[in-house]
Every structure is written in structure tokens, then in C-alpha cells.
Structure 1
Amino acid sequence: MTQRLDTLLINALIHQEGQGPVPGKIGIADGKIALIGSHDQDMPPATEVIDCEGLWVLPGVIDPHVHFGFGNPETDFETESRNAALGGTTTVISFHRSADIRDSFDAARERAERQSCIDFAFHFGVTSRLHVETLSEISHRFGVNSYKLYMMYKGAAGLSKGFTEIDDGLLWGALLAAREIPGAILGVHCENVEVIPWLREPLRAAGRDDLAAWNEQSPDFLEAENVHRVCYFAGKTETAVNIVHLSSREALDEVRRHRRDGRRSPIYVETCPHYLFLDCNSPAGTYAKVNPPVRTADDIDAMWEGVCDGAITTIGSDHVPRKRATKDKDIWAASNGFPGTGMILPILLHEGYHKRQVPIDTLMRVASNTTARIYGLRGKGAITVGNDADLVIVDPDLEKTVDPGIMESHADYSPYEGMTFRGWPVRTLVRGRTVARDGAIEPSVKERPSGRYLRRL
């Protein structure tokens, strides 16, 4: 038995996978979970004792989809990791893309190591033949085995972003290259961008300037069509794929259809907290503009059905921390995306646990457990002896109103601002260290962040 603990959590309701909240104690030593005991079990002495006062202790949320660097590239890992920690997110996977990743990645990783107060990994953005040709080299060199290809940046849409090589051929080549890398997953943004102008132009001509128009210019069937193409090609190459930020019932039905074909390679599905909560009539307006769009109440129900029956694998925020000024425009000119990593757990608790009676075990499966498994985040995703002590103490009945002014993000707005949610973290620990408590980042964490880069290959 451990001679002495660094930290001991007592009077806790502990969530372990498949068990639900059970009264107990957790002992932490050297950043790891050293002991898990019953509520009346004797434990070794500890330097710090945290009385959880009957609150839940959950595994930290793992957000596999953030865009740190799209707000302020120089400081995003500082501000956005704090935003994540306040909401109970203890690990993120951000995206890194450049013309040649071999030349750019070290600097990006080193900046993140200096700034982040939570642990982090990266995906690589695949936008050119060079990326495909060097995929094995950069994956092994930097410990990365997950990628993203952007089907919505084909043709003219890609040219406006400086991408000239994204087409179905690049998708095929990326699938072949990823297949050869151990544990690799190719994530794909699925929207048929070639049809969108034919739908958008009449809407603009009619003077439409509302959130619902953004859904109508990129409707569910354009997402579903691309999902089919990606799943079909992936079946031919036998490559694991992830349909990222899936938003619609029709697109999810397309995944279900392909899974029934007896394929040998997995199709993973990620949805986002906003697709579980916001619809196209939301009063958030342009603050809720995102790609794919937020859709209908029926699509929200479909996402929850997928969470409950396992069709949806993970939850990712698609966090983008730009300023309010980029949103205070008409629906056509406003920027895409919004901050959200710190809102994953509050939305799952409020909308999932309280409103829809989704079991906490189901919520943590998509928010943490499965994410760690499929992305190779060893020691993460579950409260078990030997794992990192990434823990969130949660008051399931605490009600708070979203105030972007205290959320630490570079972004100065939220599509949820002014909304009240029931169920919030009151303390977040990363490898046993308290980084956030009672809605504030610990002062010592601001001085010494200590987030760690996670190699996965």
C-alpha cells in the first residue's frame, strides 16, 4: 500500500465506468490515482485532504476537437486551456495545420507546453499532397495518429482559404496513407460545398438574414451525401474514419446504414454540445453560426438518440475563440464557430442528465471514456487505479448563468450567454493538481501552468 498520499478525496460519490456514482475515497500520489476505497475504508495519510461533501467525482472531460490558435495564435493555449478547466475539461486535442508540418510543429507544441494548464494532444490538418506524402514521417516523428480532411474546402471554397488541392483524390490518398499508421483515424468535415452556392444565392437575394437561413443554405442532405462518400471510400480502403461534428439525423442515418454492411474498419461519429442544445431558431443568432449549421429540434433529438444507443462515439466542442466583433455582422458575413470547450459538461448535465434523464454513465462514455480509447490517450478517460488523476468534482444541482466575462477565453461572448444551466464543476484536477476551483483558476496555475503534451504514437 502507498505509504503516503499527496491528495485524498473523501465523502465523494465516485463515477467509475459501468457503475454510476458510488460513495468512496480516492487517493492520489505522483499525479496518479493510487487508491480507490469505500467511504468507510481507512486510507494512508495525505498532504492535502479534499472533502467532496457528497458531490460527484467524474473523470475529466476529454475534448477531441478544439481550434486553439484561431483566436490569438500567441496566447490561445493559455486562455483557452483555462476556459476548458473551468468547465471540467482536462484534456484537449487541437488542430495543427501548415504548408509543411515538418517545419512548424515543434514551435506550436513548445508554445502550448509553456501556456496550457491542462494536458493536450494534436491532430494534423491534411490539405495537400505533401501532407499525404509525409504523413507517416510526421506521425512517427511527432507522436500523432489522427488527422482531419476538410471536404468543405473543395474548389472555390478552398481557394478562398488558400487550399488548392482538396478533392476526392486527396481524400482517397489520405485514407490510404492513414491505413498504414498504427491506430490512425482520419477525421473528415462533411459538407458538399459545391451545391451550397445554388442554395445560398436565392436566400441572400430574398434578403434573408437569420440563423435559419444558414441551415437552409447548407441543409442536412449535403452533409449526409458527403458522409456517404467518406464511409464508402473508407470501406474500400479499410481505414478507420471519424465523421467529425455530425449535426443531422439524415447524416447519422447514413452512418448507421454503412455500419450495417459488415465492414472491417470502424466509423466513429463525433457530435458537438451545440448540436445537442441549440437549434436554427435560437435567439443567439449569428453567435451560433457554425459549420455544419445548428439545425432543427428533430435533429437535436436524433443526436441524443445517437448518444444513448452508441451510434455517436464522442463529444467535441469545435471550440473557436474569436472576438464578438467578428460575429456582430449579418449572417453571411459573420465568422464561423464559437467557444465551447468549457460548456461540454454543463450542457451534458443540464440537457442530458436533468432534462432527458440520460444516465451519467452514458454521458461520460461519450465525454471521456471512449475518447481516450479511440485516440490512444493512455491513462486518461476513467477513474481507475494507475490512471492520471484527471478528476472533476461536480455539483449536479448547482445553477449558474453563463457569463463570458468570467470564462477566461480570448472570446468575449458565448452563444449560451445569459442562459442558466443546472450542473457545474466546482473543482477540476489535472494529474492531481487543482487547476480550477469555484469558478476561478488557481493563482499558482496562472504562474506555472504545467500542461503536458501527449504523444500517442
Structure 2
Amino acid sequence: MNLDLVLANARILLPQRGLTPGQIGISQGRIAVIAEPGAQLAADETVDCQGLCVLPGVIDPHVHFGFGSPETDFETESRTAALGGTTSVLSFHRSRDIRESFQAAHDRALAQSCIDFGFHFGLTSHLHVETLKEISERFGVSSYKLYMMYKGAAGLAQGFTDIDDGLLFAALRETARIPGAILGVHCENVEVIPLLRDPLRAAGRDDLRAWNEQSPDFLEAENVHRVCYFASKTGAAVNIVHLSSGEALDEVRRHRRNRNAPPIHVETCPHYLFLTDESPAGTYAKVNPPVRGQADVDAMWEGVLDGSVTTIGSDHVPRKRSTKDKDIWAASNGFPGTGMILPILLHEGYHRRGVPLERLMEVASANSARHYNMPSKGGIEVGKDADLLVVDLDLEKTVDPATLESYADYSPYEGMTLKGWPVRTLVRGRTVALDGKITDEARSRPGGRYLRRL
């Protein structure tokens, strides 16, 4: 067998077997053989992993590339992803008419990204719903997102006029008609938020906890109920994206007990597994839904362990520090994080909470590959893409935005020391990051591929 690369002397995370001593042979970007430690494998190059772990590449199904520097985000943000072990992303694309805008976004990403990528469509109008089947088939996109937080006055401020429960129901109904499609929904009852926010602002509150108090957990849970209930009437598969609270997760569990319920997936984010509303990050940790209290952090980990949480997405938004250096009400929402998924899962999940590596990589990789129609991704198996991470579980590094390659020049995790980092990131058998740096080849020839999923 003609192999391009062998990863030797490794402990490989294999399905149903856990960490297993062995070696991986790669040919033409795919895993060609998984062999015992002593097997003789001839290859153009052999890398001695020195007993370190080899894990599947992280799939981040929730990034907003283009919200920092629209012309260059896929270059910078794919690099920050690769440094942290993310080898595939799904980014959100929205415009007035996706039929007219998508190809340019696709071509820009293809020219810039050093990791593989796909898109979700942001649904903000009835035109999007009416053309959903057409754009899905034409561009190979099987997943969408509807923003409940942009209803009414909040939507008008963003230029959205169609977002209401009618659009939600119409989008669910149309999603159900497309085989393999899934609708993600941002769940917050934005109509109640001003009633709670205005007294906080009048009282002079300017702290991260105030951001949580103006959009509390029950406003998320109420919207989760609405989405799940409408989904049961249409038969559409749904994904509750960036779920942040125990009460909202319990609402999902309640609806799942209905034997007629469609698939209800739950995505949480690394920040909901790690940060609280007492974080010293302050406005750098401002996000929608808000980071919450320690009880909700613990509830998210419980959901990871019992399977209620199915995927992890970063909700990565790469804006500058200057957009955050304001009071809590004026600071921008969201923050960078795609390259932090694996370090946070290893530090907080594996080391501090004893969560098995197998479970962490299910929610960080395998489940996203399954839900979002990426059969060549998500695990270490013969025939799959060689998206692989050589990981030092004991490596401790302090988060420094200056080394992360993102357009964003800050991180809500900056100054924190985390245990467990990748030292080599391979995308389809090609090393794109090594020892905390992007390779020269990945800089000059990015090489990321578009993931057509329908």
C-alpha cells in the first residue's frame, strides 16, 4: 500500500475502543489503515507521536465568519480554528436574496480557508422560505437558522421585517419537506427583555450579571417550548442552537418524551460550559444568550454526560476589542472562540470533571458530522478524511490573543491557563498547524474544501 503519511507511536481514540496504542496510515487525504504498534507501514513520511493522543478533528457547526473583516475572515479565522484543533466549520450566510449572494461568499472562502467549511443559511424573510428548496439543492446546504431574537422592534433595528411566529412555522414546514434538512433556532423571548432591561439600566447597572438578568433563563425556555411544539406539528428536525440554561434544557427533555416528537438536537457552547456571569472577562464575555450562573454551567455538563446536549459550537464572532471596551449595554455581542472548543473541553471536562474523551469527541465531532450530513468527517475510521489532532493532554498554555491569528485582538479567556492542547492539526492528512503555529504551506496554499451536504 502506498501511504503518504504514517502517524506512529500514538494512542488513538477509536470508536467503541477508547484510547488504543497503534498507528494510522494516510493516503490521498483519507485514513487508509489503522494498524497495531509493531506493524511495518511504508510511507513517504512518518511522524513519531511519542505516545501522545490522536483525536478526530473538531467540527464547529456554529461560526460567524464575515462578521469581523468580511473580505479576509476565512483566512484569519480558519487559522485560529486550526491552531485549537478545529478542522471543519459551518458558517452562517445570510443576505436579502441568497440566490444572488452565495457564490461570491463560497468562492472567497474557498480561496482563503485552510480548513474545510460549509454554510448554513440565515432565514430572515418569507423569500428565503419560498426559495429554500431551490437554494438548498443548488448550493448543497441542508441546515438553516432562524433568529427569534430579531422579532418586532429588535428585528427592525437590524432591517428584518418578516421575523415572527408565522415565519418560524413556515420555515419549519418547508424544512420538513427537504430530506435530511434541519432548522436551528436562536431562542430568546425578545419581547419581554425590554421590560426587564430598562429598570436595570435606570439603576445604573453595568456588570455582566445584569446582561444575564435582562434575558433570564425562562425567556430562553419559553422560546424552546414554542420551537419544539411547532416542530411537532410540522415534523421538522430542529436544533436549539447555543443553549445556555438548565431550564431550557429541561424543556427539551420534556418535549423529547413525546413519542411523536421529531428529532430535537441541542447545541451548547464552550462558554456555557466554562464562564459564568461573575467572570472577570466582563463585557468581553457579553453574548446572546448570556453566560449564566454556576448552576447552569453544571447543568450543561450534566447534559453533555447524559446525552441531552448533542453538539458543541463556538458561536465565534471575530470583532475587535474596541467594540467591547464600552459599558455592558453598548458593547458588541459575541466573541471569538472556535479554536478554544477543544482546550476548554479538555481542561474543564476531561481534567476537572472526569468526562470521558469518547463523550467529549462525540459532542465535539461525531454528532455534528452525523446531524449535518458530513459522512467523511467525525471519527477515526478507515475511509474517513484524515482530519486528525495530535494532542498533549498534559500541555498547559496561557491564552494569549496575540498568538491566536484571529482578526479579533482579544479573547474572553485571555490570561487563563488551560490544560490539554493540540500540537499538530491535520486536515485531510495535511499538517496545517504545528506546535502552536500555522505551517508555511497552509499560509501560502490554504487548501480548504467546500462541504456540500445535500
- The 5 A counterparts of 1:328-407 are 328-407=325-404
The 5 Å alignment of 1:103-252 reads: 103-252=100-249
Q: Using the alignment, how far apart are the partners of 1:225 and 1:263 within structure 2?
A: 20
The equivalent of 2:270 in structure 1 is: 273
| Aligned match of 1:313 | 310
State how far apart, in whole Å, the 2-side matches of 1:367 and 1:445 are: 23
Q: Following the alignment from structure 1 to structure 2, what is the Cα–Cα distance between the partners of residues 364 and 37?
A: 21
Q: Structure 1's 264 and 219: CA in aligned 2 closer, same or farther, altered over 3 A? A: closer
2: CA distance, partners of 1:357 / 1:315: 18
Task: Name the residue aligned to 2:408.
Answer: 411
User: SS at 1:149's partner residue?
Assistant: strand
User: 1:372-418, CA deviations, whole angstroms, 9 ceiling, x for partnerless residues?
Assistant: 00100120000000000000000000000000001000000000000
Task: State the alpha-carbon separation in 1 of the partners of residues 277 and 324 from structure 2.
Answer: 16
C-alpha offsets along residues 342-395 of structure 1, whole Å, 9 cap, x if unaligned? 000000000000000000000000000111001001200000000000000000
Q: Distance in 2 between matches of 1:38 and 1:295?
A: 46
Distance 2:303 2:15 in 1: 19
State the match for 1:22 in structure 2: 20
1:32 matches 2:41: no
How many angstroms apart in 1 are the aligned matches of 2:47 and 2:154?
A: 52
1:10 is aligned to 2:8: yes
- Report how far residue 261 of structure 1 moved: 1.0
In the alignment, structure 1 segments of 5+ residues that lack a partner are none
Task: Please list the CA deviations of residues 271-290 of structure 1 after superposition, one character each: whole Å capped at 9, or x if unmatched.
Answer: 00000000000000000000
The answer to whether the Cα contact below 8 Å between 2:255 and 2:261 also exists between their aligned partners in 1 is no
Q: Does 1:455 align with 2:452?
A: yes
Cα shift readout 1:292-319 (whole Å, capped 9, x = no counterpart):
0000100000000000000000000000
- Considering only aligned residues, what root-mean-square deviation do their CA atoms show, in Å? 0.5
Q: CA deviation at 1:41?
A: 1.7
Report what 1:42 is aligned to. Answer: 40
Asked if residue 424 in structure 1 is aligned to residue 416 in structure 2, the reply is no
Q: Secondary structure at the match of 2:79?
A: helix
CA separation in 2, counterparts of 1:444 and 1:132? 41
Q: Give the match's secondary structure for 1:121.
A: strand
Q: CA deviation at 1:19?
A: 1.6
In structure 2, distance between residues paired with 1:19 and 1:142: 37
Distance (whole Å) between structure 2 residues aligned to residue 17 and residue 267 of structure 1: 24
Report the Cα offset of residue 17 of structure 1.
2.0
Give yes or no for the alignment of 1:290 onto 2:287.
yes
2:16 & 2:371 partners in 1: Cα distance? 18
Distance (whole Å) between structure 1 residues aligned to residue 29 and residue 83 of structure 2: 19
1:42 Cα deviation after fit = 2.1
Aligned residues: 454
Task: Specify the alignment match of 1:446 in structure 2.
Answer: 443
**Distance of 2:40 and 2:439 partners within structure 1:** 30
Structure 2 distance, partners of 1:264, 1:353, is 32
CA distance in 1, matches of 2:232, 2:17: 35
One-letter amino acid of the counterpart of residue 15, structure 1: L
For 1:448 and 1:263, the matched residues in 2 are separated by 49
Once the 2 structures are TM-superposed, how far is the Cα of residue 264 of structure 1 from its aligned partner? 4.2
Q: Cα offset for 1:156?
A: 0.2
User: In percent, how many aligned pairs have the same letter?
Assistant: 74
